[in-house]
Structure 1
Amino acid sequence: MSDLMRITSRDAFAEVLAEARAHTRALDPSRWPVLQSIATQLEFMARTTARGRIPHPDDRTRTNLGPLGLREFGELDPEYADALGELDYTFARYHLLPPGPAVMRRGILQVWSGRESYHKLILEPGVPRTVGTARADFVVYADAGGSPHFQIVWDGVCAHVQALDPHRITVDGEPCFVGELANRGWMTAGRTSFRFLVEDYTPPPGPVTPSEAGLAALAQLRVPCDAGTLYAVVDAARSERALQLIEESVDPYASLFDGERGRAFDDVAPYLVHLRSDSRLLERVVHEGWGDAWGVFLVSKKPLEAVRRHLRQFLMVEVEGEADRVFFRFYDPRVLKSLEPVFSREQRAALLRALDAVYYESSDTLAVLAAG
């Protein structure tokens, strides 16, 4: 197969399959038993994937077009051999292919345990990367006496991992030397757990029709996003989809809750996200979440960890007449809208100390809280 795959979705599978069947017919299978076997297998693939079907696991192991094509056509017709190999590979993993047209998505290896939780290694298709405690592309829990633990390469459908001696890994709970990771797969290396995700893998639950207010907000927010200074605080308690979007993104993020006790509330935590200009996360959050109070947007030139430390000060606040500190949902635009008119100058200055501005939805407009 070629380094970069054409088949990264079910529509792309159908397209390459149709081309391979046409090419096989043009070569006239009646003259060559090998071509008859190829034609039969291609017809089997077409039948078992017709009308949106996902082939049964047993069916997905019944083809051998990859080695057959390489042996018979590797030198004679390498493009045809590549197509057969890619069809064979993706047919075995058909259930992992997202619906719709082909999109070259990036892979995301995310640290999931310990103090470096949420750190991400972004994987471009076909580019191998090493991970370890030292002398690796992605160093996790740096140790001067450490070493690379494994190599990972994302091909557009699966991530392939291989342990580097003397280390071993587990993939989806199974000890191994080599393995594959699909979207939301898990692995461990040493004492560190990792989660693997695919960028923009899960489509929205229904059609998304951007509102005029959302489009106007997006245009306004795009300016700081392109400048690299736009953050969002996304409230997972408002929507499972909101958390799903930031997880399946290349954008750096972290929970505002801290420690192991905080991890117990992962499903409902507020998450700080640094929005990247080369990501579609801003567009998806605005289009899908506008009007549902998913969170607020912040502008700051400070790094993510500094913004996170600043915002954590406001999770619990003192309220006159209350004996104990109370939880402050400053990242809920409805709360911010009600409190902004009564903020004192000192309160406004405290909130904005590490920020240039806070944007939040207010009726059909994007309101802004800024210094001065």
Structure 2
Amino acid sequence: MSAPHESDLSLVTWLIRELWSAGKGPQAPQVYALLDGARDDRIEPMIRLSKADFTCLYAGRLTPALSAVAPYLVHLDPDQAFTGSLLDLGWGASCGYFVIAPSDVSLRQLRRHFRTLLKVVDFEGNELAFRFYDPRVLRTYLPTCMPEELKAFFGPSLLFIAETTTEGTLVAYSIDSGAQRCTLQIRPGSLK
């Protein structure tokens, strides 16, 4: 049987190929989803029912209402049914984006880093929530960063991959020698 033509790939198959382009396994970079529960009320129950390792970025005991809209970090496995369901549900809805981390960086380490980004201080000294886990915020914020800000934002992460406003495209952000590098990937056949 021959391989499917690139333009015949389903969205989920294409995304899995892009997210695990460096391979899978314990020594390969690990793929996480950083999800915004406020974007879709199905996210939190879906995560809790999955067999995936996950954590909430908020600390302490949360009310059910806050838990439902909280940001979650989920370790993804391309062979789990949950991953395909999440990609199918979330793509195009700005529910979150993907974080690629070295194999030796744990879910706990990523959570610790991302928790440092939840609050920012404005010019007047007011503390504000920073919704960096929303891909619309990520796409707006990262291009404005100086190299030292990018380093602080990325922490132990290698790459952030997010949907764009154009159907069938994603954008990947990385740091290369202190400078932001951004690549745009277009799903084969999506822009016909």
**Into which bin does the TM-score normalised by the smaller protein fall?**
0.7 to 0.9
Is the contact made by 1:296 and 1:360 (CA closer than 8 Å) also made in structure 2? yes
SS at the partner of 1:227? coil
TM-score by length of 2: 0.75
Is the contact made by 1:225 and 1:276 (CA closer than 8 Å) also made in structure 2? no
Which of 73, 97, 101 aligns to 1:272? It is 73
Structure 1: gaps (5+ residues) = 1-210
- How much has 1:227 moved relative to structure 2? 3.4
Q: Which residue of 1 aligns with 2:158?
A: 356
Q: Which residue of 1 aligns with 2:59?
A: 258
Output the CA distance in 2 between the equivalents of 1:225 and 1:285. 20
- How much has 1:261 moved relative to structure 2? 4.8
Aligned ranges for residues 106-117 of structure 1 at < 5 Å? none
Structure 2: gaps (5+ residues) = 1-8, 177-192
Q: What amino acid is aligned across from residue 129 of structure 2 in structure 1?
A: F
Q: Which residue of 1 aligns with 2:114?
A: 311
SS at the partner of 2:52? coil
- How much has 1:328 moved relative to structure 2? 0.7
Is the contact made by 1:217 and 1:366 (CA closer than 8 Å) also made in structure 2? no
Aligned ranges for residues 215-254 of structure 1 at < 5 Å? 215-223=13-21, 226-227=24-25, 229-254=30-55
- RMSD across aligned positions (CA): 2.2
Is the contact made by 1:315 and 1:328 (CA closer than 8 Å) also made in structure 2? yes
TM-score by length of 1: 0.40
- How much has 1:276 moved relative to structure 2? 2.5
Q: Which residue of 2 aligns with 1:149?
A: none
The alignment status of 1:281 with 2:82, answered yes or no, reads yes
Q: Which residue of 2 aligns with 1:342?
A: 144
- How much has 1:323 moved relative to structure 2? 2.5
- How much has 1:263 moved relative to structure 2? 6.8
Provide closer, same or farther for how the CA distance between residues 317 and 293 of structure 1 changes in structure 2, counting only shifts above 3 A: same
Output the CA distance in 2 between the equivalents of 1:262 and 1:357. 32
SS at the partner of 1:292? coil
Q: Which residue of 1 aligns with 2:184?
A: none
Provide closer, same or farther for how the CA distance between residues 251 and 353 of structure 1 changes in structure 2, counting only shifts above 3 A: same
Output the CA distance in 1 between the equivalents of 2:25 and 2:165. 27
Aligned ranges for residues 7-18 of structure 1 at < 5 Å? none
Q: How many residues align?
A: 161
Identity %: 30
Provide closer, same or farther for how the CA distance between residues 293 and 363 of structure 1 changes in structure 2, counting only shifts above 3 A: same
